[in-house]
A and B are shown apart, each in its own frame.
Chain A
Amino acid sequence: MQIQNYNMPDELYYEENHFWIRDDGDFLVMGMDDFAQVMAGEIVYVQLPDEGKRLNTGKKFAKIESGKWLGKAFAPVNGELVGVNEELEENPGLINDDCYGKGWMYKIKPDDKGELDNLIKGQEAVEKWLLADIEKYAEE
């Protein structure tokens, strides 16, 4: 779906800090959403932790930087980091070019996929959440 100028695909789950999560069967794929990549500007660094890292819901597990902005990636579910997009090591700008495709960031093996239900999904919920954040950041 398109919300104002932002592309927010319907089939994805969203974490409140503007990361998307895709259900790929046994694994989840995670990346930055369109709103976040526009707000951040050119991404220059993405921390790619070693595979095997334990992730705890809501806890910070990586840093992302664009110029003077420092962002943090928070675990959307409990689980294990099982893959990272190594292309981002030398070309973090892929997040700006194609945030839902070549700019994917992390692959996660969840302990319990049921936790996905705690994330934001569906047109009504996504629209309400995004519009509130658009307003919030416009004020700042």
Chain B
Amino acid sequence: MNKMEAKYDFERKYREQVLQCSRCGFCQAVCPVFGSTLRPALNARGKMLLLKEVMDGKIQLDDELIESLFQCTTCASCFENCPSGVNVPDIIKQVRKDMVSIGTCHPAFKGMNEVLKRHTNIYAEDDAEDFGREKNRKAEIVYFVGCVGLYREEESTEATLDLLDRLNVDYTLIDEVCCSGVLEDVGFEINEELARKNIELVFATGAKTLITGCPYCSRTFNNKPQYAELREKGVNVLHISQFLKDFDMGVKTDKKVTYHDPCDLGRHCGIYEEPREIIRKIAPNFVEMAHHHADSLCCGAGGGVRGAYAKNSLAMARRRLQEAEEIDAEVVLTECNSCIHNLSNAKLRRQKFEVYNITRFINELMENK
């Protein structure tokens, strides 16, 4: 008997992995979406079961499945803990592309793709701050802010730039546009026009180092073929925590400080120690939360979930902040503007700790020295 031809790319690429899911439920214990909704249909196992049913022709890949398949932060906590090695984030990204190809998509993501055809950023706000700095000048380094840092966490970005100034770093900002990497997560492709513009702007500065404050932009520049030219022409892409780890900041705090691992920096890039090296030098009273490094809890912002399922996204961030409360932290540091945004929005008034990017915290310590 002829084997039935696969209908979708996810099946062609990942059939064995979907079938490999042994339904053990280890993912349920670590899935941030399940943690905030307590709905098994939304965790990785639930998603794999749904996809098996699709492959078996028992259910259709249609709008009914949007809530489960588009509600995943792609944090990779499930993959990290899966004894069968099922790469759920990659499967989910492919399924979303299959869904978009048949006209099924969460409206927020369809909207985001449309916005990036007409605007320079995911928020459709074309009036970017220049932070009082001259852009597009010749410099050793380009600092790429990212959409969240430009349009939602401007104070944090300004502090990061102030810190780079204090450290006498020769950097320039550019008239950046969205790296558009996020489109790959939500069913679409990187916008080639935007990628080309960023590449040309970086080359025009003569810089050989590109630093990003956003771990996702950093991943996109380092891994996506649309940005391969940067790497091929010798531009070294670093996240700011990698760049700053060897600096002597010359400041210290007695405060009890903890660190939240952004998924895009930690599980996706393996960058765990560089931020901690920076923090340990300035904060001897550094304490880990219950979940950290590869076991860190997701803040809930990734994979487009903050835009499409904001309430659940904030509930995930509150679970994370609960852990900061449990260790009586006075300062929660991270180094991702999406995490900062979601955690700051989720922080309750009774929670008296501060949530900062490491760079902003150091800049404030220097300012008050």
Interface residues of A (CB under 8 A from B): 42, 44-45, 48, 50, 65, 67-68, 70, 86, 89
Chain B contacts to A: CB under 8 angstroms: 108, 111-112, 122-124, 151-152, 307, 310-311, 314, 345, 348-349
The residues of A that contact B345 with a CB separation of less than 8 Å are 44-45, 65
A67 contacts B310, CB within 8 Å? Answer: yes
From A68, A70, A89, residue with most partner B Cβ within 10 Å: A68
Q: Check B152–A44 contact: CB distance below 8 A.
A: no
B307 near A70: Cβ-Cβ < 8 Å: no
Choose among A44, A48, A70, A89 the residue that contacts B310 (Cβ–Cβ < 8 A). Answer: A44
Quick one: closest A residue to B123, CB to CB? A68
Which of chain B's residues have a CB closer than 8 A to the CB of A45?
A: 310, 314, 345
**Interface residue SS majority, chain A:** loop
A44 contacts B314, CB within 8 Å? yes
Which residues of A sit under 8 angstroms from B307, Cβ to Cβ?
A: 67-68
Chain B, residue nearest A45 (CB): B345
Query: Given A68-B108, A70-B151, is A44 in contact with B311 using a C-beta cutoff of 8 Å?
Result: yes
Q: Other than the known A68-B111, A86-B349, what 20 A-B pairs have Cβ atoms closer than 8 Å?
A: A42-B310, A44-B310, A44-B311, A44-B314, A44-B345, A45-B314, A45-B345, A48-B349, A50-B349, A65-B310, A65-B345, A67-B108, A67-B310, A68-B124, A68-B307, A70-B123, A70-B151, A70-B152, A89-B348, A89-B349
Query: What are the 4 A-B residue pairs with the smallest beta carbon separation, nearest first?
Result: A44-B310, A45-B345, A68-B123, A68-B307
**List of B residues within 8 angstroms of A48 by Cβ:** 349
CB distance from A42 to the nearest CB of B (A): 8
Q: In this complex, what residue of B is CB-closest to A86?
A: B349
A-B contacts, 21 of them at CB < 8 A, read A42-B310, A44-B310, A44-B311, A44-B314, A44-B345, A45-B310, A45-B345, A48-B349, A50-B349, A65-B310, A65-B345, A67-B108, A67-B307, A68-B108, A68-B111, A68-B112, A68-B122, A68-B307, A70-B123, A70-B151, A70-B152
Closest A residue to B347 using CB positions: A89
